[in-house]
Amino acid sequence: MTAAREPLRRALRTLGPGGVIAGVGLILILIAVVSPGVIAPRDPLAIAPSEAFSPPSFAHPFGTDESGRDLFTRVVHGAAASAGIGLAATGIGIAAGLVLGFAGALGPRWLDAAIARVVEVLFALPTLVLALLLVAVIGPGTQASILAIGVATAPGYARILRSRVRGVARSDYVGYARHEGAGPVTVFVRHIAPNTLWPLVATATLGVGQAIVWVSALSFLGLGALPPSPEWGAMLNAGRVYISTAWWMTVLPGLAIVATATVLTVLGRRASGAGSEAT
């Protein structure tokens, strides 16, 4: 029994109190994303005009909005929209970063130089500013915000991957593998990819939290999901008009964004630290 508990104790020591709390928070977020009805069984779009602007109470823990919709239900159901959009945007950014990073690090010099110049130009702009420019070209909407955030985050992933791949490709063990007759595909699959993708995974965990914040910012500006969608940024946009009389309409969805980003940041840093120790 003691031996069986030892891996759990070791994991808890590695995570620390902050990591354990973040892990519990991640479980709650995943439940809200996969099955929000377990936590909040009400309909997030059901209106009750007679209960409009009700402050937080036992019946409505987060209060209600201008249409009498239960804000707690909308925040819980909004996790699927906000986190889903953040995950999709991060997936696009990672996919583009993989292509650019591997092509630049392992391709010919002229291709590396061309990709490096493009990445430097894009990386010079703040991510949110670049996303705003892309949305202005593509047009507002949920799909446009996903694509804009994904493209805007790709340069960061590409720079991290390119630097890591070049370092691994010049390492002694890769040189030994090539000296023993291993082909380029074998070297890539067995040595380069496994030693470069883990840091990117840890960085992507941090990136999901950042993407949720940026996607919420676009929705707050009216360029992403639109009301009455239970998306956190759209809820902030709808509640800002009533912030002096119904503070809960903006404060509580905002806390949901901060809490989610904090949980993913803490876990991402733990994963990054574990990856660096492993290497």
In a domain, 219, yes or no: yes
In a domain, 190, yes or no: yes
In a domain, 85, yes or no: yes
Query: How confident is the model over 20-50, as pLDDT tens digits?
Result: 888 888 899 999 989 999 999 999 999 999 9
- Count of structural domains within the chain: 1
In a domain, 31, yes or no: no
In a domain, 15, yes or no: no
Task: pLDDT tens for the chain, 279 residues: list them.
Answer: 454 455 556 555 666 677 788 888 889 999 998 999 999 999 999 999 999 999 999 999 999 999 999 999 999 999 988 888 888 999 999 999 889 888 888 888 888 889 888 888 887 888 888 888 888 888 888 888 889 999 888 888 888 888 888 888 888 777 777 777 777 778 787 778 878 877 777 778 778 888 888 888 888 888 888 778 889 999 999 998 999 999 999 999 999 999 998 998 888 777 665 554 545
Q: Which domain holds residue 83?
A: 65-278
Rounded to two decimals, what is the model's pTM?
A: 0.81
Q: In whole angstroms, give the CA distance from residue 29 to residue 34.
A: 9
In a domain, 131, yes or no: yes
Nearest to 41 by CA among 13, 63, 5, 72: 72
CB burial of 155-173 (b: ≥16 within 10 Å; e: otherwise) equals bbbbbbbbebbeebbeeee
Q: In whole angstroms, give the CA distance from residue 206 to residue 202.
A: 7
**CATH assignment of the domain containing 203:** 1.10.3720.10
3-state secondary structure of 59: coil
Note the Cα 153 to chain centre separation in Å. 10
In a domain, 26, yes or no: no
Residues with Cβ within 8 Å of 82's Cβ and at least 6 positions away in sequence, in order, are: 212, 215, 216, 231, 232, 233, 256, 257, 260
In a domain, 194, yes or no: yes
